[in-house]
Structure formats: C-alpha cells, structure tokens
Amino acid sequence: MVNELLKIAKKPEGPLQILQGDLELGLQLVAHTIHIYKQHYIRIPQGMVPMGELGYEKRLCNMALVSAAASWDGFKGNIVREVRESDHSFSESKLRQRLEQISSYECIKEPLARRHCIVHNSARVDQEYKRDIPSSQLNIGDSLAISLEYLKEASVSFFKTAVDLVKVLVEEGLIPKEYQKTIGEFQRDPSLGETTLFFKKQ
C-alpha cells in the first residue's frame, strides 16, 4: 500500500491527481497541526498559554485556502497544456466556457473570491467580493477568516469541479480517458491519532 501511494505521489497520472494530492496534503497539514497545537502550551511573560487559544487555526486555514486556490489555478494551466499536447486548439477562455456550463463550478466561486480578499484585503470583504458574490449577506469590511470545516468544504468543491471538468473534456475527446483516474476517494477528513515510534537498536 505504501509503495502504491509513493508511486502516485512521485509520478501523478495527470492534472486531476496532482490537484487531489495538493488539496489532500493541505487538509492533512492543517488538521494535524491544529491537533498538535491543542496539546501544547507556549510560554510568554504573563505565563503559560494553550497554543489552541492563540488564533492559529484561522491563520492556518486562510493560508491553506490560498494554497488550494493556487493548486486550482495550476490544475487549469495543466489541463490547457494537456489539451494542446493532444493536438487540439485550446485556450483559457475556452476552458472558462466549459467551467461556466458545469453546475459544481458555482461552488468554488466564493472560495476564489474569498482567497482574493485574504491576499489583497487583509481577509476582509471588499467591493470585488460583493460584485463577484452578490448573494452574500456579508458587508464590506467584515472578516473572512475561515475554519477547518470551511476549508474542507472548499477543498471538496475544488476537487469535484475538477472531476466534472475532466469528464466533460474526455467526452469531447480533448484529453485521454485515463486522466479521469483519481487517487482513490477524496480524503476530506484526515485521520488523527497517536503514533508510537519503534527504534531498532544498532
């Protein structure tokens, strides 16, 4: 099992697997880091403070969402490249047209708009966000910091949209059928538990 995972990690079989690996890794890193933080304290002049009370979760999740959005952008670039290498004329605008026809694409518009605010407006709602997400009840200046649960939902949405897009492009004969292969089922909830290390005496 480990050898199979390492094989996929070292040589993904297409843009979809690369995206899945990136998204799942982001969730793993955040979930496990938060888990560790809750068990440790930090020493400050005023005394000992639980690390879980220092607001790291929002910062970690914000950073992970930025990374997930970057992985999505990378996925789109890889898809355009793969279609062109299959001797088809294709552009980012044509890719965008396909996305607009996919119902799951609606689910990632808000995470993408939120990512923009995290990077460019100190994680607060701005005019662009209100323009892109007119249904939002948030007001300009409201905080857009996210939780682990939000990050999980956004990551699943990125992956599902990618799966739907690849299916469309395969049906149109623009990319090979094998590009639909995923790294098994998407791992939305990383398993957390204690591990025991055994060291062999030399």
Residue 195 pLDDT: 53
Taking only the tens place, the pLDDT of each residue in 13-25 is: 799 999 999 999 9
Lookup: tokens for 141: 């200046």
pLDDT of the residue at 162: 98
pLDDT digits (tens, 9 = 90+) for 51-110: 778 778 889 999 999 999 999 999 999 999 999 998 899 999 999 999 999 999 999 999
**Containing H/E element for 169?**
helix 148-171
